[in-house]
Amino acid sequence: MLRFRVTLRSACAWERRMCFRAEEVFHRYFQLHRIKVVGLLHPLSAIVLLCLIGFMFVYELCYVLPAITDPHGIWHKLSWFMGIYTVLNILGNWCLGFMSNTSVEGLPLDRQHPVVGEAHLWHYCTTCQKVVPPRSWHCRLCNICILKRDHHCTFFANCIGHKNQRYFLAFLFHLSFGSGQALVYNGILNWKNNAFMASDPLLLISRDRTQDADFNWKYTISSLFKLNLFLFVVPVGMFVFQMIMVHRNSTCYKILDRSYDVGWRRNMDMVLGKRRFWIFFSPTIASPLSTDGTQWRHNQIV
């Protein structure tokens, strides 16, 4: 028994050493190749996102919609209006989130130092070599400390933090809404043509697809329905997760930390700002935040 415990302990120690080594190698790799990684990852993510949005927009409104509605009817016009409104919101929130400077360096110079009596709340960043406000953490991709850092988003080519989380939330909301609209149109088209089962892999093996144009068409629209389903589930899941974080005033960086939870209304205000849920209507609605990201009310219970 004792021998087993000793073996287990040495195995754990070895595992810890290997994890530490892997982390060290990973960090060193990032330090050396940060600019190359960012230069490749960010444009690639932007191209993938733009292609998906562009394809879904054209396919749904120019192909699916005329097949399921009267092109001169009110539903057709309303769907076009909603489609354009949703895409403008996605792109608007995306651009403003990308352009937001949510780093500690973006603060006015006099706010980059703690006020009297709050120095003990700030901590030192060894990479930036300066003290930074509470809830600010260093991002290895941005190579800077971010105010209330949530996570680094490759699609935004920026960190999601104190000043741009509202844009990220609205971006996810409109992505979910747009994919939801498309899912309804695709669902109706598949239902009307009895094509839901056409992309079953077993059918693909058992049939000669080169001879059957109708089957090929049903296979394509059914596959696009499944792609649409995936593009709906991912942003919805991310939006729900983000709303849970905002509701508890936690961040992805410190998921279990609820020490700043001061009630869901105040927590929401800290991210959405003065106009609250109106920010979901348009990215241009001004919604000033209650704090500049340097001072956070601590939950006394913790």
Contact between 128 and Zn ion (CB under 5 A)? Answer: yes
Contact between 131 and Zn ion (CB under 5 A)? Answer: no
Q: Which is nearer to Zn ion, 104 or 279 (CB)?
A: 104
Q: Which of 34, 76, 138, 247 binds Zn ion (CB under 5 A)?
A: 138
Q: Which of 56, 64, 139, 279 binds Zn ion (CB under 5 A)?
A: 139
Contact between 41 and Zn ion (CB under 5 A)? Answer: no
Mention every residue, 6+ apart, whose C-beta is less than 8 A from residue 234: none
Contact between 198 and Zn ion (CB under 5 A)? Answer: no
Minimum CB separation of residue 126 from Zn ion in Å reads 8
How many CB atoms sit inside 10 A of residue 63's CB?
Answer: 13
Q: Which of 42, 135, 152, 174 binds Zn ion (CB under 5 A)?
A: 152
Q: Which of 53, 141, 175, 189 binds Zn ion (CB under 5 A)?
A: 141
Cα 145 from Cα 192, distance rounded (Å) = 53
Select from 12-20, 144-152, 209-217, 242-250 the region that touches Zn ion (CB under 5 A): 144-152
Contact between 31 and Zn ion (CB under 5 A)? Answer: no
Select from 13-21, 122-130, 215-223, 234-242 the region that touches Zn ion (CB under 5 A): 122-130
Cα 178 from Cα 239, distance rounded (Å) = 13
The strand pairing partners of 132, in sequence order, are 123
Mention every residue, 6+ apart, whose C-beta is less than 8 A from residue 190: 196, 221, 222, 225
Q: Which of 61, 65, 147, 159 binds Zn ion (CB under 5 A)?
A: 159
Contact between 246 and Zn ion (CB under 5 A)? Answer: no
Contact between 95 and Zn ion (CB under 5 A)? Answer: no
Amino acid at position 62, single letter: C
Query: What's the per-residue H, E or C state across 55-102?
Result: HHHHHHHHHHHHHHCCCCCHHHHHHHHHHHHHHHHHHHHHHHHHHCCC
Minimum CB separation of residue 102 from Zn ion in Å reads 9
Q: Which is nearer to Zn ion, 152 or 174 (CB)?
A: 152
Select from 65-73, 159-167, 262-270, 286-294 the region that touches Zn ion (CB under 5 A): 159-167
Minimum CB separation of residue 97 from Zn ion in Å reads 12
Mention every residue, 6+ apart, whose C-beta is less than 8 A from residue 207: 215
Contact between 125 and Zn ion (CB under 5 A)? Answer: yes
Q: Which of 38, 56, 61, 145 binds Zn ion (CB under 5 A)?
A: 145
According to DSSP, the β-strands at 158-160 and 130-132 are unpaired
Nearest to 224 by CA among 248, 193, 252: 193
The pairs formed by 263-267 with CB atoms below 8 angstroms and a separation of 24 or more are: 266/297
Residues engaged in binding Zn ion (CB under 5 A)? 125, 127-128, 138-139, 141-142, 145, 152, 159
